[in-house]
């Protein structure tokens, strides 16, 4: 009977590996050939180039490789992220949360954010950085209203209802956005607005404390060209009065033909750390009226208003060191600070459903800024 015997002896320390094989087995030619090749290949030498065989992996080589891996220094860890870097990352995320997203994503967000609806109107919480209308083809609220309308109707295929923006908000403004379900409702809302039956109150955080603490700003505004290295256009004050030559009083001047009437009521709700929480109520709808009145009439620009914090240039808002410290930011990163202008409350009178009064919750970045600046809203003061 044929027999096959294999004996292997390995010296792990010296790296020597000797294979003894004895075979009289005709049934195992592959084993015999393998043993013969191992005998002819010297340890530590590459095989004959003519054979094209790869060198066999020896146990000692594997052991050395493991030791080398253990001896390698650990990979360099990333430096810890500072609080200021975390703050900038948060602000970037808030300001870009729904910009350039798929229309269905924006429609779902608006659907989840509905604050009030009846057979005539829908009020939803507008996110930051999304335009109400945009003719450039970018995703806007108007472009997703057909999808939102179907969602409100339970995704009915034969739904005939539509939604139309009635009183719009600026791209950087958050808060209560009024939508009409029919075109005739839009006209009715516009008539209510002209008759002061629509009240809109905004909350803003200002850099500085307005003096006096409440009042009415009645100064027309006009669009003017700003010359310099970066020519651009801005809305500016177009006052009807100016100081007389003697400096003892004011004289009335002729109104500019292209100026727009602009009236804004303001009231300081709280102030701390050189900043203020202010409630604004516009009685007119001129472009950028509240931003211009706060920046140029009261010299208290809205936090994050990089357009109207300077008149002669386009540059990020310049903040005092004390405010920067409270916000956890450096001046070089202030461009990431969003505009703190929020449509807080919307009141409609004369609708078929009666008087509608809706308060809109603040966005997360707004509440975080209030906490950092130690500003307390009136509703929180009542609960203390």
Q: What is the mean pLDDT of residues 41-67?
A: 63
What was the pLDDT predicted at 55? 63
Q: Would 236 be classed as within a structural domain?
A: yes
| pLDDT tops 50 at residue 40 | no
Report the chain's mean pLDDT, rounded to a whole number. 83
Query: Is the pLDDT higher at 31 or at 263?
Result: 263
Q: Would 37 be classed as within a structural domain?
A: no
What was the pLDDT predicted at 128? 93
Kindly report the CATH number assigned to the domain that includes residue 285.
3.30.2350.10
Instruction: Note the pLDDT tens digit of each residue in 317-361.
Output: 999 999 999 999 999 999 989 999 999 999 998 778 788 999 999
CA atoms of 190 and 198, how far apart (whole Å):
9
Q: What is the mean pLDDT of residues 109-123?
A: 95
Q: Would 255 be classed as within a structural domain?
A: yes
Q: Would 265 be classed as within a structural domain?
A: yes
Query: 332 is in which domain, residue-wise?
Result: 83-374
Q: How many alpha carbons fall within 13 Å on the CB side of residue 125?
A: 16
Instruction: Note the pLDDT tens digit of each residue in 211-256.
Output: 999 999 999 999 999 988 888 999 999 999 888 888 788 888 888 9
CB 367 within 8 A of CB 92: no
Query: Is the pLDDT higher at 81 or at 120?
Result: 120
Q: Would 169 be classed as within a structural domain?
A: yes
Q: How many domains does the chain have?
A: 1
Q: Would 297 be classed as within a structural domain?
A: yes
Q: What is the mean pLDDT of residues 129-149?
A: 87
Most confident of 5-9, 157-161, 346-350: 346-350
Distance from the Cα of residue 285 to its chain's centroid = 27
CA atoms of 316 and 314, how far apart (whole Å):
7
Q: Would 62 be classed as within a structural domain?
A: no
Query: Is the pLDDT higher at 246 or at 156?
Result: 246
Among 65-69, 170-174, 178-182, the minimum mean pLDDT is found in 65-69
What was the pLDDT predicted at 369? 95
| pLDDT tops 80 at residue 17 | no
Nearest Cα neighbor of 284 from 236, 217, 225 is 217
Q: Find the helix packing angle between 141-152 and 103-112, rounded to 10°.
A: 60
Q: Would 12 be classed as within a structural domain?
A: no
CA atoms of 277 and 206, how far apart (whole Å):
7
């Amino acid at each position: 009977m044929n027999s096959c015997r294999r004996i292997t002896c390995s010296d792990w320390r010296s790296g020597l590996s000797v294979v003894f094989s004895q075979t009289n087995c005709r049934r195992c030619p592959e084993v015999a050939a393998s043993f013969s090749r191992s005998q002819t290949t010297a340890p530590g030498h590459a095989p004959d180039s003519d054979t094209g065989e790869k060198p066999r992996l020896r146990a000692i080589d594997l052991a050395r490789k493991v030791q080398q891996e253990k001896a390698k220094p650990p990979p360099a860890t990333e430096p810890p992220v500072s609080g200021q870097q975390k703050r900038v990352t948060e602000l970037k995320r808030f300001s870009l949360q729904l910009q350039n997203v798929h229309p269905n994503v924006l429609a779902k967000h608006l659907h989840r954010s509905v604050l009030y609806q009846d057979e005539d109107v829908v009020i939803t919480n507008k996110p930051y950085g999304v335009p109400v209308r945009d003719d450039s083809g970018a995703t806007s609220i108007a472009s997703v209203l057909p999808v939102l309308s179907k969602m409100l109707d339970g995704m009915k295929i034969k739904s005939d209802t539509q939604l139309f923006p009635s009183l719009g908000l600026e791209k950087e403004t958050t808060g209560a956005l009024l939508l009409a379900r029919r075109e005739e409702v839009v006209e009715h809302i516009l008539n209510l607005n002209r008759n002061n039956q629509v009240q809109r109150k905004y909350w803003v955080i200002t850099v500085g404390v307005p003096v006096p603490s409440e009042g009415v700003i009645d100064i027309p505004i006009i669009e003017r060209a700003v010359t310099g290295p970066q020519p651009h256009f801005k809305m500016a004050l177009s006052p009807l009065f100016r100081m007389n030559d003697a400096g003892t009083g004011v004289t009335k001047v002729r109104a500019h033909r292209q100026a727009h009437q602009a009236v804004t009521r303001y009231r300081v709700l709280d102030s701390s750390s050189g900043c203020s929480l202010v409630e604004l109520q516009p009685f007119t709808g001129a472009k950028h009226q509240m931003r211009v009145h706060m920046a140029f009439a009261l010299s208290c620009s809205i936090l994050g208003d990089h357009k109207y914090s300077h008149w002669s240039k386009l540059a990020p808002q310049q903040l005092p060191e004390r405010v920067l410290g409270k916000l956890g930011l450096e001046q070089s990163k202030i461009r990431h600070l969003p505009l703190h202008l929020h449509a807080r409350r919307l009141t409609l009178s004369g609708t078929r459903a009666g008087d509608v009064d809706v308060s809109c919750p603040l966005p997360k970045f707004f509440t975080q800024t209030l906490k950092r600046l130690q500003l307390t809203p009136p509703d929180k003061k009542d609960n203390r």
